[in-house]
Homo-oligomer: A and B are copies of this chain.
Amino acid sequence: MTDQPDAVHRLVAELVDKKLTVSVAESLTGGLIMAALTSVAGVSRVFRGGVVAYATDTKHSLLGVDANLLETSGAVDPDVAEQMAIGVREKFDASFGLSSTGVAGPDDQDGKSPGLVFVAVSAPFGCWHRELLLEGDRSAVRTRAGIAALELLADVLARL
C-alpha cells in the first residue's frame, strides 16, 4: 500500500474538504487499509478507528454480521462485506464504513480460492460492493485488496 501514498493523501484531503468521516472493518487485509490511512498526518479529522475482524465469529460479535449468513455462505461473500461496512459505520458513528473480506491464501477458505475478495462501502444513502479476482501471492492479494477498497471509497465520494 505504501506505493499508493498520493491516492491515500487525495482521499483523506477529500474527506477533510467535505467534512466526512470513515471507519474501517478489515478481514483479509488485516490492518493494511487503516495503516495506509493513518500514514497521513492529520487523518484524525476524518478517521476515528476501526476493527480487524479476522476470525469469522468476530464478524458477527463485533460488527453484527448475520450469523446465519456466515454459517451458510462463509465469510467470503458480498453480503458479508456490505454488513461489515454497515456495522463498522454504525459502531464508530462515521459517514462511511469501508470493509474487506476475502481469501489471501495460500490455502482455500470456506471452499473459495485465494484471490477472491469483496470490498464494500456503506453510507447513510446506500451500500456498494465490488467482487475482485486478484492475482499474486498472499502479500500481493492483500495489498491489491486494500487498494481496491480505498478506490471504491474514492469512487463513491466522486459521485457526491
Contact = CB atoms under 8 A, between A and B. Distances in A.
Interface in A90-111: 91-92, 104-107
A124 B154 CA distance: 43
- Copies of chain A in the complex: 2
B44 A49 contact: no
A41 B142 contact: no
A31 B8 CA distance: 15
Interface string A40-62: 01011001111111110010001
Interface string A8-30: 00000000000000001010111
B62 A49 contact: yes
A38 B31 contact: yes
A32 interface: yes
A107 B41 CA distance: 9
